[in-house]
Chains A and B, each alone.
Chain A
Amino acid sequence: MSQAVVQVLAAVAFAGFAALLARRLRLGLEREIVWAAARALLQLAVVGALIAAIFRVPALAVLFVAAMVLAAALTSGGRLRAVAGSRRHAAVAIGVPALSATGLLLLVGAFDTTPRAIIPTVGILIGGAMAATTLTGRRLLEGLREQFDAVETRLSLGDDVRTAVRPVVRGAMVTGLVPAIDQTRSVGLVTLPGTFVGLVLGGASPATAARTQLVVLLALLAVELLAALLISTAIVARLTAPGERVVLPDPAPDETGDRRPWPFPWRRRGGPSG
């Protein structure tokens, strides 16, 4: 059996194990795990073919990056769908910092201006920005619901909305940035991140891999902070009504992660019907 087949089978076995364990523990996540794994398999197969095409026709890289931002915005915005225009806001929060940082890195010559360098770098930055956007946005909505009385107290004492929600926004941004900070702090000790592993597996020297990884990791910190700031600002602005009031949206069904993924429309055991 070739190594390629063994790799795929091993990956599928791990996903199957995770789904079975989730089912055994009644976490209600087994379909999400299977769907996520199936999507990953399909998406990576397609992306492998696409990137091969992009390496031959570099102009396609622009379209590919736009598609990445769009997909990230749809994913993150979907998690924040309680907020009107969430996908547009997520697109700005993800796209602006990730693309700006990539542009800056290319401008100063940190990476070659080739699709082979640009695509993985911008992909990592978009992925980080997406995670920060989703985490910050969700935590902000939860925090506003939990602390709404405190927010209204501050408004009653003469604060404007921006000041009244500031403690909640700060808490949400901290939550949104914890993974990035932990990843940066523990790099090399707990984890060997993707860029490093990829470069070493691809034949680069460990020193080159470490240097490249450092650039990406530290850029990620700034990108994720900016993404968290942009999505918080957008959500607060969206929830601000005339008269310095905060109007909370009704929670969207998928805000709790309870949405049935499309290819598995059957009922969750013990869950709501429909």
Chain B
Amino acid sequence: MKSVLGIDWESRRRGRLTYDRPVTGDGPRGLIATDVWLARGGRDVLRGATLAVPPGAVTALIAPSGAGKSTLLRCLNRLLEPDRGTITLDGVDVRELPPRELRHRVGLVGQAPVMLDGSVRDNLAYGLRSPLTDDAAAAALTAAGLDDTFAARSAQELSGGERARVALARAVVRRPAALVLDEPTAALDADVARQVGATLRSLAAEGLAVCLAIHDVPFARAVADRVVGLDGLPVPS
């Protein structure tokens, strides 16, 4: 029974399955977007966007405001589906991965992160497959530049900068293969931004593929190993 009342029940069922095969293919490692096109509201938002986010490096994506950076990031963990083009994670087309598995492996931190109801710890533990240990919570908070007393605080009472860092900790605690951040320093002061930059570098040193879409070019050059545009080419200094 595939379609009843116009609803594709089979694809809904498949989406709930967990992935029982290793997420590795024969293609290049990391996140690779190739010739991605996407139209929204009758307008081409992405026109052949290309991006390579290799593991073990920080890649900064720089483009003018409204050029589609955020849209491309949302395509990387399939919150948006491109009209054309391919996106692969460690050589596997992301459309072949169960979406929930993909999103565990590609952490996305949005520009204005939403805190879910409950404490910071509740936010860190949300959706984890195994119980969150105190050590893991403390390590994730520390990595995001917060001390472990933050875990008990109400997530709804955090400032913008604190939310940005908790969102980073929430993504890190999942131990993703790739981390994608949209303007991660937008709500941070210079000192905290530097701290977050150092965290991103150390995460990349552990083998993560880290990508940040950012308009702060000096910060991007200070933190990133590669600074590229939406055409995938390096942005000249």
A residues adjacent to B (C-beta < 8 A) = 84-85, 88-89, 92, 149-150, 152-161, 234, 237-238, 240-245
Residues A244 and B108 in contact in the complex (CB < 8 Å), given A149-B114, A238-B6: no
> Do A242 and B170 have beta carbons less than 8 Å apart?
no
Which of B15, B170, B174 is in CB contact (< 8 Å) with A243?
Answer: B15
**Smallest CB gap from A89: residue in B:** B5
Chain B residues with CB under 8 A of A234: 5, 7
- Whether the pair A152, B79 counts as a contact (CB closer than 8 A) is yes
Whether B237 is near chain A, meaning CB under 8 Å from some CB there, is no
B100 x A158 contact (CB < 8 A)? yes
In the assembled complex, the Cα of A85 lies from the Cα of B7 at a distance in Å of: 10
B interface size (C-beta, 8 A): 32
Question: Given contacts A153-B110, A158-B103, A160-B100, is CB(A243)–CB(B81) below 8 Å?
Answer: yes
Query: Is B30 an interface position by the 8 A CB rule?
Result: no
0/1 interface trace, chain B 4-30, chain A, CB 8 Å (1 if under): 011111011001100000000000000
Closest to B80 in A: A245
6 tightest A-B CB contacts, nearest first: A244-B99, A158-B127, A157-B127, A237-B7, A153-B114, A244-B15
**How would residues 86 to 107 of chain B score, 1 for a CB under 8 Å from any chain A CB and 0 otherwise?**
0000000001000110011001
Q: List 9 A-B contacts (CB under 8 A).
A: A88-B6, A89-B5, A150-B114, A160-B16, A161-B12, A237-B9, A244-B15, A245-B79, A245-B81
B103 pairs with A157, CB closer than 8 A: yes
Contact partner, B113, options A88, A153, A161, A238, Cβ 8 Å:
A153
Residues in A with CB closer than 8 Å to B114 are: 149-150, 153
Q: Across the interface, name the chain A residue whose C-beta is closest to B15.
A: A244
CB within 8 Å for A244 and B7 given contacts A150-B114, A237-B12? no
How far is it, in angstroms, between the C-alpha of A245 and the C-alpha of B7 when the chains are bound? 14
Chain B residue at smallest Cβ distance from A150: B114
- CB of B77 within 8 A of chain A? yes
A242: nearest chain-B partner, CB-CB: B11
Taking CB atoms, residues of chain B closer than 8 Å to A89 are 5
A154 to B74, CA, bound (A): 14
How far does the Cβ of A88 sit from chain B's closest Cβ, in whole Å? 6
**A156: which of B9, B12, B15, B108 is its contact (CB, 8 Å)?**
B108
Give, as a whole number of angstroms, the nearest-CB distance from A162 to chain B: 8
B79 contacts across to A, CB distance below 8 A: 152, 155-156, 245
Q: Check if B205 is an interface residue, CB within 8 A of chain A.
A: no
Query: B15 contacts which chain A residues (CB < 8 A)?
Result: 160-161, 242-244
What distance in Å separates the Cβ of A146 from its nearest Cβ neighbour in chain B? Answer: 12
A243, B99: Cβ atoms under 8 Å?
yes
Q: Is B78 an interface residue (CB 8 A)?
A: yes
Q: Are B7 and A238 in contact (CB under 8 A)?
A: yes
Once bound together, how far apart are the Cα atoms of A4 and B16, in whole Å? 62
Complex Cα distance, B99 from A88, in Å, reads 29
Q: A153-B110, A160-B16, A160-B100 are in contact. List 6 more A-B contacts (CB 8 A).
A: A157-B170, A158-B103, A158-B174, A238-B6, A244-B100, A245-B81
B110 touching A149, Cβ below 8 Å: yes
How distant is the Cα of A149 from the Cα of B127 in the complex, in angstroms? 17
Cβ contact within 8 Å between A153 and B81: no
